[in-house]
Structure 1
Amino acid sequence: MKITVVGAGGMGSRFAIMLHQAGHNVELVDGWQDNVDAIRANGLKADFNGEPVTVKLPIYSPAEVDATGEKPDLIIVFTKSNQLRSMMEAVKPIISPVTYVLCLLNGIGHEDILEDYVAKDHLILGITMWTAGMTGPGQVTLVGNGDVELQNFEPAGEAFTKQVVQVFTEAGLNPKYSENVKYSIWRKACVNGTLNCLCSLLECNIGELGSTTVASDLLHTIIAEFATVAAKEGINLDEQEVYDHVAGTFTANIAGHYPSMYQDLVKNHRATEIDFINGAVWRKGQKYGIPTPYCALLTQLIHAKEQLVGAVERTKAHV
């Protein structure tokens, strides 16, 4: 399968490497020029569970996409949510009538943007529980295990989506074809809406957050706001199960992990995706007349911290 990975940050690099190793034709698109230059010069370098790996992959900046002349079977989107529209504008020349787009971004509501670039029956939504991090241009650290959950947005896309599941299986990405991926997207958003923003504000890793006496109350309250808003959209989250899922990370093998929002905001002083996570719940709550005071406060605090550290928009993906 010919695959274009849009966003060569930590997670995009993980998927690109694993799909390449499985024998697929993979290319990258990334907006961070230092990253593009490093991968072109030295290959994409990874510390892959303690083993050094280098793969040579073609990579293009957004301005170069039109010059490739090739149309992929599948585009996997790993850019940041707040960069999604601009990146889709850039890759529009390589989207053909038979191209499918798979969105694995953290957060809620990305399909509203993607529908402007691909037919609904060529749109695949999903979530991933893999982790990854960047250590510098063209360099990533990949540790632990994970999985992927996928579902076609419209029934007509089922056959191709199941083909993607097979491709991902061969690459060791542990995919699952879902019958209700929107539930899983909201469930994953609860993970991001708790761990990401709280670790960023407190400047701690997941395990350190879990060691505080207030962690449990914070999780229950934030998850309740997500669940109340989700119910208005026909998605009935099991609050206790979601809480157990999130709290389980405090003692899991990723307890020492600093979430992507922490890496963006605290480490690299980049703008975050908060408007597509807690901010989305806050906006939807206003739409439905539902109070979401914790999501509102967390969104405002993250934006305040962005301003205090001089966070800027950059097209470097780091999911």
Structure 2
Amino acid sequence: MRIGIMGAGGIGTVVGGLLSNAGHDITLIDQWPENVDKIKADGLIVEHRDTEVLTHPKAIHLHKLQLETEPFDAAFIAVKSYDTEWATTMMLRYVDPDHGVFVDFQNGINDQRMADIAGVERSLACIITISAACYEPGRGVRTDVNSPGFKIAEHDGSDTARARELVEVMNAVEATEFSDDLWGERWSKLMVNCMNNALSGVSGYGTAKVRTEADTRRIGIQLGAEVARVAKAHGKELHSVLGLSPEMVIDAAEGRNVEEVEAALLETARKAGPGGVPSFGQDVRKGRRTEIDFLNGYVSDMGREKGVPTPFNDKIVEIIHDLGIEFKGDKKHVQPLIDMLP
């Protein structure tokens, strides 16, 4: 399969490298010059725990996309949420107009924004459950052991040949499933992101520490419960996440079965390993703009639509907006959220 991956960050490099290694025709398109140049010169190393594989996908700078004359069978949109529109627009003329597809490979719920540009009739989604990072040029790192690693879905939930083909393609990276419920899957993943990502950014903690430290673990439960309540108000049927049903997270936020939920979160911290940092935390460490308005901010907005209170999500959005860009993660930034805990 000939695939153009727009965005060679953590997910883009891990997916692109392993698909290339499996024999697919992969082109990574990225705006980080040193990353592209390193891959072109020396190949792309994909690291997972104690193993490394040297892969050789094609890598090009954004301004070199104009030189691509053979259309892609698929465009994977793997950029930050705030870059969705321009990245999709840029790929339009380079994807096969008759049979080519666009696949949303992002955190947050950006599928409709991508489909508004590419056309819903050729838009699919990939819900990502692995964790990955790109800390240095030419090296993608997978930081978890989750399986299945991906779920492929059509917007309307239909079971199509093209969705099944993508499942087979992505099996080369990690076990992949077909899902007939894109929106339930997206909201379930959003729940995980909202419980962990922004907390990692403001505190400076990695994925595991957010869940092992008592204060941030308890805040995460409150954040997740608010996501679940908002999703239910909008008629979304959430799936179990982190080994927990959404009802269990809501119960824990309200003081019921807290020990069981905390034990499950501690187990996910153990599996995450010490080196994992969610994408939001990576952005803060790199002094980059964050996706707060597309994660916790999205929940706050959707909660207001249905009159569902989201005080913890509102507060973490406020904290990050006040800190701006290029702040350093520090436990002191979390104190206002600690003060809100019941």
- Normalised to the residue count of structure 2, the TM-score between the two structures is 0.83
Local SS of the residue matching 2:54 = strand
1:154 partner amino acid:
D
Contact 2:29 2:59 (8 Å CA) reproduced: yes
What's the C-alpha RMSD, in Å, of the aligned pairs?
2.3
Q: How much has 1:280 moved relative to structure 2?
A: 0.3
Q: Do the aligned residues in 1 keep the contact of 2:45 with 2:140 (CA within 8 Å)?
A: yes
Q: Does 1:150 align with 2:157?
A: no
Give 1:183 shift.
Answer: 1.3
What SS does the aligned partner of 1:236 have? coil
Matches within 5 A, 1:1-319: 1-95=1-95, 96-108=97-109, 110-146=110-146, 147-154=149-156, 158-169=160-171, 171-237=172-238, 238-241=245-248, 244=261, 248-254=267-273, 256-265=275-284, 267-307=285-325, 309=327
Residues 251 and 241 of structure 1, relative CA distance in 2, 3 Å threshold: farther
> 1:252 is aligned with what amino acid?
K
Q: Is the 8 A contact 1:121 1:157 kept in 2?
A: no
CA distance in 1, matches of 2:128, 2:193: 12
Structure 1: where are the runs of 5+ without partners?
A: 312-319
1:189 partner amino acid: L
Contact 1:127-1:184 within 8 A present in 2 as well: yes
Equivalent in the alignment of 2:257: none
In the comparison of the two structures, how many residue pairs are matched? Answer: 308
Q: Deviations over 1:40-88 (max 9, x none)?
A: 2222223343334322222222222222012111111211111111212
Amino acid at match of 2:73: D
Deviations, residues 143-174 of structure 1 (Å, cap 9, x unaligned): 443311111113667110001111222x1421
1:197 Cα deviation (Å)?
A: 0.9
Structure-2 change in CA distance of 1:68 and 1:24 (3 Å): same
Aligned partner letter, 1:298 = I
**1:32 shift after superposition:** 1.5
Structure 2 distance, partners of 1:50, 1:252, is 15
Q: How far apart in 1 are the matches of 2:105 and 2:204?
A: 25
Q: State, as a whole percentage, how many aligned pairs show the same letter.
A: 24
Q: Equivalents in 2 of 1:57, 1:45: separation in Å? A: 10
Checking the alignment, whether the CA contact within 8 Å between 1:269 and 1:306 is kept in structure 2 is no
Contact 1:183/1:235 (CA < 8 Å) preserved in 2?
yes
Distance 1:253 1:6, change over 3 A: same
Query: One-letter code of the match for 1:66?
Result: Q
Structure 2: gaps of 5 or more residues: 239-244, 251-260, 330-342
For 2:246, the aligned partner's letter is E
Cα pair 1:151 1:158 within 8 Å, conserved: no
Secondary structure (helix, strand or coil) at the match of 2:315 reads helix
Mean CA deviation greater in 136-145 or 179-188 = 136-145
Distance 1:207 1:28 in 2: 30
Bigger relative CO (Cα 8 Å, ≥ 6 apart): 1
- Mapped partners of 1:156, 1:178: distance in 2: 9
**Alignment partners' CA distance in 2, 1:31 and 1:231:** 38
Runs of 4+ with deviation above 6 angstroms: none
Q: SS where residue 28 of structure 1 aligns? A: strand
